[in-house]
Amino acid sequence: MAVNALKDYPLRVMDGVDKYRGDWLINVGWDQHLMFCAPFMWPLPPAMRFGDLVEKIMPASFGAHPDFARIDWSKVEWLKSGKPWTPDFEKSIEENGLYHKDSLRFRTPGLNGIKGSGS
């Protein structure tokens, strides 16, 4: 539904893809690891290798969790917009079919947070 307004209501998108000097915002959350209170968001170049996100960006953000070092990345299950998704680590973010403001989640079966509490 459209906004009910008195006059013309011009569209002003505050976080459009044009606002990040060529980067895209990418969101990643780690299921059952709510010690990180919310999913993370980074501005990333679309040409960045997906594996670099996992190997170079994510450790600084997720590494404080004791489970992080135990992750077997070949067994990780990924979700994109809530649906199962398989990334190719060697391909770029763009080549993986991702786009600005996409939301990814990953699950690590067997690793279920502090004392299995989902934390």
Partner 1 sequence: MDMPTTKKKLGIKERYALMTRGLDWETSYQPMDKVFPYAQFEGIKIHDWDKWEDPFRLTMDAYWKYQAEKERKLYAILDAFNQNNGHLGVTDARYVNTLKLFLNGISPLEYMAHRGFAHVGRQFPGVGPRVACQMQSLDELRHAQTQIHSMSNYNKYYNGLHSPTEMIQKVWYMSVPRSFFDDAYTAGPFEFMVAIGFSFEYVLTNLLFVPFVSGAAYNGDMGAMTFGFSAQSDEARHMTLGLECIRFMLEQDPDNIPIVQKWIDKWTWRGIRVLTLVAMMMDYMLPKKVMSWKEAWEIYFEENAGALFNDLARYGIKMPECAKQAFIDKDHISHQAWATFYQYSGISNFHSWLPSEEDKDWLSAKYPDTFDKYYRPRFEHWEAEAKEGRRFYNTTLPQLCQVCQIPMIFTEPDDPTQICYRESDFGGEKYHFCSDHCKHIFDDEPEKYVQAWMPAQQIYQGNCFPEGADPTAPDFNAVEEVLKYYNIHNGRDNMDYVGSEDEKNFAEWRQTSTKN
Which sign, positive or negative, has the C-alpha torsion 52, 54, 57, 59? negative
- Contact (CB, 8 A) for 49 and 77: no
**Exposed, middle or buried: residue 91 (CB in 10 Å: 0-12, 13-18, 19+)?**
middle
| Interaction of residue 97 with partner 1, rule CB under 8 A | no
* Size of interface with partner 1, in residues (CB under 8 A): 50
Q: 27-42 burial, b if ≥16 CB within 10 A, otherwise e?
A: ebbbbebeeeeeeeee
Binding segment (CB under 8 A) for partner 1, from list 11-19, 47-55, 67-75, 85-93: 11-19
| Interaction of residue 68 with partner 1, rule CB under 8 A | no
* Least gap, CB of 1 to partner 1 (angstroms): 5
| Interaction of residue 69 with partner 1, rule CB under 8 A | no
Binding positions for partner 1, rule: CB under 8 A: 1-6, 9, 11-17, 19-20, 23, 25, 27, 29, 31-32, 34-43, 60-61, 64, 81-82, 99-103, 105, 112-115, 117-119
